[in-house]
Amino acid sequence: MAEDSQKTTHFGFTDVPENQKAGMVHGVFTNVASKYDIMNDVMSVGIHRIWKDAMMDWLAPRAGQRLLDVAGGTGDVSFRFLARAGDADAVVLDMTESMLVEGRKRAEASSLADRLDWVVGDAMALPFEDNSFDVYTISFGIRNVTRIADALSEAYRVLRPGGRLMVLEFSQLPNPMMQKAYDLYSFNVIPKMGKVIAGDSESYQYLVESIRQFPDQDTFAGMIRAAGFENVSYRNMTLGVAALHAGWKI
């Protein structure tokens, strides 16, 4: 047996062969794509919109910039970036085509379609040249990636010197009591909501398990530094339910 096929990783709370995880994640997002946007609003009571707006406040998009939004799904981050930057371009890359299809429908219903490209691809092997983007964003995507360090190295490679990385992701609440209350909500309510709204509790069970597996804020900041980024910092959102990490390629 080849060495690679023996390695395991986590898919939520289940150990799986490393080379099978991407296919399983792809299955989850293919299942939820048509209900993804509505489920986001319902599960977070609309708060994900505030977090994404806060991401843009910190990023302060400017005219002329080229954004790569990895694991961009239905395009939430790219739409916000373009609305704020004015004359700019964005590429939305995702490994799940059905998520991009939903995003494209949204783009066609707006005036932003001609400033957006939609690319099927893998965060761990980006199909772009070195030094080709001003900004790299990944929002609620990186915890799904099999080898996070590989995705961060790719982010570093495709950013231009002076380029900015911004990662929005679920995180850990520093207050243990609050973490417990949040766990009760997420493990008991979210899979049931998934069943009612999207007819799929398993995908949402994966979602809450994957959140608990993701490294805490300081550990993740260390991983970003290890990929080469400088001036790395983070801000907690909603008591640490999510965190926004930023870094620069100098």
Q: What are the tokens at 97?
A: 């085509």
Number of residues that bind ligand SAM (CB under 6 A): 20
Q: Is 198 annotated as a binding residue?
A: no
Among 59, 79, 94, 164, indicate the residue that binds ligand SAM (CB under 6 A).
94
Q: What are the tokens at 95?
A: 């490994």
Q: Is the dihedral of CA 93, 150, 247, 214 positive or negative?
A: positive
244 binds ligand SAM (CB under 6 A): no
Nearest distance, CB of residue 204 and ligand SAM, angstroms: 11
122 binds ligand SAM (CB under 6 A): yes
* Helix orientation angle between 76-85 and 97-108, rounded to the nearest 10 degrees: 40
Q: What is the 3-state secondary structure (H, E, C) of 55-73?
A: HHHHHCCCCCCEEEEECCC
Nearer to ligand SAM, 110 or 175 (CB): 110
Nearer to ligand SAM, 53 or 87 (CB): 53
3-state secondary structure of 74: coil
Q: Is 139 annotated as a binding residue?
A: yes
- 136: β partners: 68, 165
Half-sphere exposure of 103 (CA within 13 A, CB side): 27
73 binds ligand SAM (CB under 6 A): yes
Nearer to ligand SAM, 44 or 179 (CB): 44
Among 140, 156, 206, 220, indicate the residue that binds ligand SAM (CB under 6 A).
140
Instruction: Determine the Cα–Cα distance for residues 74 and 169; give it in Å rounded to an integer.
Output: 16
DSSP per position, 179-201? HHHHHHHHHHHHHHHHHHHHS-H
103 binds ligand SAM (CB under 6 A): no
Q: Is 123 annotated as a binding residue?
A: yes
- 143: β partners: none
Q: Is the dihedral of CA 67, 69, 75, 79 positive or negative?
A: negative
139 binds ligand SAM (CB under 6 A): yes
Among 11, 12, 55, 72, indicate the residue that binds ligand SAM (CB under 6 A).
72
Q: Is 76 annotated as a binding residue?
A: no
Q: Is 233 annotated as a binding residue?
A: no
76 binds ligand SAM (CB under 6 A): yes
Residues at the interface with ligand SAM (CB under 6 A): 22, 25, 29, 71-73, 76-77, 94-96, 99, 122-124, 139-141, 144-145
